[in-house]
Amino acid sequence: MSRISIPAINTATGATAEVYAQVKKVAGGSVPNLFAALGHLAPASLAAVLNAEGALAGGSLSKQDLETIKLVVSELTGCDYCVAAHVMLGKMVGLSADAINGIRAGAPTGDSKRDALIAFVRKLQLSSGTLSQADFDAIRAAQYTETQLAEISLAIALTIFTNTFNRINDTTVDFPPVK
């Protein structure tokens, strides 16, 4: 059970009710536990997350690229909630079980562009300081544009935010469990 108690979704009012309505439009009428907690505690923060996710969805990275980034970050952060969510979402956008397993393990997936993205995100998450020129050149050689590098940065930042909140809250996982 999550550490932070939230009232029933249908009792929300004001900004919380408004942001829940946004989530329901995107999530098929439901409000995942992460969004329920954020919407209850900080509706403006949840609205910002949704707006940023909308910007990413309208950007130039593929849905598979976005789920790859989010899964790498969530795996490295150790957020069981987000790992479960992004495994499910990865399958929904067409990532194979083998690709998902490779992404989670930091192992080759058989797709050289995806593997370059995984290596890049892992490097960013496991190191500090300015990225080396060689690492920059490697992601550019994989045909990621400078605009996509900005989008990769945003995807990482959003994922770190949700991972961190879930780790604090011990948010109850409401997605199919993963090993």
**Is the Cα dihedral 126, 129, 134, 135 positive or negative?**
positive
Q: Which of 58, 21, 59, 51 is nearest to 161 (CA)?
A: 51
Count of residues making up the chain:
179
Using one digit for the tens of pLDDT, what is the confidence trace for 126-172? 999 999 999 999 999 999 999 999 999 999 999 999 999 999 999 99
Q: What is the share, in percent, of the chain residues with pLDDT greater than 70?
A: 100
Which CATH fold would you assign to the domain 63-167?
Answer: AhpD-like (1.20.1290)
What is the amino acid identity at position 39? G
Q: What is the mean pLDDT of the chain?
A: 97
Q: Which of 120, 126, 129, 142 is nearest to 69 (CA)?
A: 120
Going from the C-alpha of 3 to that of each of 116, 166, 172, the distances in angstroms are: 37, 10, 9
**Is the Cα dihedral 86, 87, 88, 94 positive or negative?**
positive
Q: State residue 129's pLDDT score.
A: 97
Going from the C-alpha of 172 to that of each of 45, 91, 169, the distances in angstroms are: 20, 21, 9
What is the amino acid identity at position 137? D
Mean pLDDT over residues 29-37, rounded? 96
pLDDT surpasses 90 at 179: no
pLDDT surpasses 90 at 121: yes
